[in-house]
Structure 1
Amino acid sequence: MKDDQIITRRRALLAGAVALGAAGVAGAVGVLVPDTVEEPVGPVAGAAGAPARRLASKPSVYRLEPLTGYGVPRAAPRRTLVRHEPLLRMSGRGRTMVLTFDDGPDPRYTPGILNTLRRYDVRAMFFVCGEMAVANKDLLARMADEGHIVGNHTWTHPLLTRLTRSRIRSEMERTCDVIEDAYGERPLWFRAPYGAWNRAAFQLGAELGMDPLAWTVDSRDWTEPVPGTRTIVDRVEGGAAPGVVVLSHDAGGDRSHTVQALRDYLPRLLDSGYHITVPRRQYA
């Protein structure tokens, strides 16, 4: 056999081997990612959007995912419904309540609230102001680690009904950005300062992917003079009922009574059979 024929045959064999090897690799190689468990949270009536959840990683457990282009097609993101009034309470059966804390995070009071929630393995919602969040990103990171929900409460806590549309957008967007940076996800919930809603707030909130959440029970811990611990406890326990959303504050003044009140009423609510949870976003 001539030398040039030998070379040609070797090249053909080599090309065939490479093709077979490539086919085998394409059939076996996947992307290694940590296995995760999604932890759903309780529902809110008529809420729209993707479920609010926390991903709890399992150490040293992995699964193969298909290469891009070979998996199940991802659905297009759905638009958030533009509402005309805020959500006030949760739907569903059972003695379920939501605890919310506004205006923080404040390093003087928020850690005490987080400590109590962690002690009783309870999750809550924190509607943060951007100007407070940007100075206390570590507290937002802790909220994420411990499974709490962080919502948008504007940047400077203004009365939205007195602002232009562009100013409202700026207040919302800046706060969304700092929450995403510190918490790890953009907020899915929005609460207007003072409970003062208008059409622009609903529309802009929806454009930014957020649902409006108000409250059912006001602890009135924001009033002056500051109510004592016993008064706050009585208001929360007196308003306790299935589906209610409780409003308290972890910033904006002396909130030491709020911190102590939570230590008092939380174990009693749990002992009474209440399940304290956070709302689930649902598509309308």
Structure 2
Amino acid sequence: MPSRRLLLVAAGMSLLGAAGCRSPWSSGDGATPDAAAGATATTAGSAGGEGKPGAAPATPSKTPSPLPSSPPPSAPAPNTEPVHRVLTAAEAKPLYELDPGRRAVALTIDDGPDPRYTPTVLALLQQHGIRATFFLIGENAVEHPALVREIADHGHHIANHTWTHPDLRHMSEGQVRDELERTSDLLHRTTGRQPTWFRSPGGDWPAVTLKVSAELGMRPMCWSVDPRDWARPGTSAITERVLKNVRPGSIVLNHDGGGDRSQTVAALKAYLPVLLDSGYLFTAPPN
């Protein structure tokens, strides 16, 4: 039975819907996609990012898979040659949702690190004992290596969000490879761990992007709950959109970089305790 706090928050919810892996580069609001996992998700989608015009959203597939937890990262080993994992055909397809049979949620944080907001997000997650996945932009990570290490040291997972956050749909294979490989190499040198997850800016998954990410040993992860916090719709709107659309197995999108993220931080403070009170657990993929 929902907690009193959940009922109070939910009472003020509007009919706003989350755009499940729908890009803000596209117009209109999309519905949350059905469950899709590595083995069955489609390879052409669109989803949240930084407002640019784009393609229609992907249609996720039907068989979600769980994300296991892993221990905190070890100390950096910058001189270790990275060994890329060989992915199966199923793992090379975008993951949109976790196992709906578990009351677990994956919290994902994009576009950092940002010295204005990332430390506050880290403190908040530590307060609630939550592990998240941070999809980092290379050009931000190279400016703030200590913050990258702090994220890893807190037990969160470091993932690849390209070097410059471009629209990969209009780039050659060589350009895509440079964006992904350069970022993975930096994160590996900084934390001693090779990223094993990748998120395409805007949630768009052209074939060349999936090919390159697989060759670099990174599984593609999208999301199923997009509160569109990047557009700064207001703290209450972000909170309502998450609480209205979250389900067992949801992958929730948030941002700690790319602009003023004070609304996102305030929304996290509001909705995380509600989800915890209602029995949700938070998980993150192994790095």
Q: Structure 2 length normalisation: TM-score?
A: 0.71
Q: Which runs of 4+ in 1 moved over 2 A?
A: 44-48, 50-57, 81-85
Q: In structure 2, how many angstroms separate the alpha carbons of the residues matched to 1:178 and 1:124?
A: 20
Find the residue that maps to 2:229 and give its secondary structure.
Answer: coil
> Aligned match of 2:278 in 272, 275, 282?
272
* 2:97 aligned with 1:53: no
Distance 1:55 1:100 in 2: 17
Whole-angstrom CA distance in 2 between matches of 1:278 and 1:129:
19
Matched position secondary structure for 1:99: strand
Say which of 251, 254, 271 aligns to 2:257: 251
Q: How many residues align?
A: 217
Name 1:149's counterpart in structure 2. 157
Normalised to the residue count of structure 1, the TM-score between the two structures is 0.71
Amino acid at match of 1:130: G
Larger Rg: 1
1:68 alignment partner in structure 2: none
- CA distance, structure 2, for counterparts of residue 81 and residue 239 of structure 1: 31
RMSD over equivalenced CA pairs, Å: 2.4
Unaligned segments of structure 1, at least 5 residues: 1-43, 58-75
Contact 2:224 2:251 in 1 (8 A): yes
Partner of 1:241: 247
1:54 shift after superposition? 2.4
- Aligned residue number for residue 179 of structure 1: 187
Aligned amino acid, residue 210 of structure 2: F
User: What displacement does 1:110 show?
Assistant: 0.7
* Alignment-derived partner of residue 214 in structure 1: 222
1:229 aligns with 2:246: no
Distance 1:51 1:167 in 2: 32
Distance in 1 of aligned mates of 2:109 and 2:84: 29
1:63-116 residue CA offsets vs partner (Å, 9 max, x unmatched): xxxxxxxxxxxxx98611245741100116321001111111000111111110
Indicate the residue corresponding to 1:90 in structure 2. Answer: 98
- The structure where strand makes up a greater share of residues is 1
Residue in 1 that maps onto 2:145: 137
Q: Which amino acid aligns with 1:94?
A: R
Structure 2 unaligned blocks of 5 or more: 1-35, 40-64, 75-82
Q: For the residues of structure 2 that align with 1:172 and 1:265, how far apart are their CA atoms? A: 32
Structure 1 pair 78–279 and aligned structure 2 pair: CA distance change class (3 A): closer
Secondary structure of 2:150's counterpart equals helix
> Structure 2: how far apart are the matches of 1:199 and 1:46?
15
Identity, % of aligned positions: 47
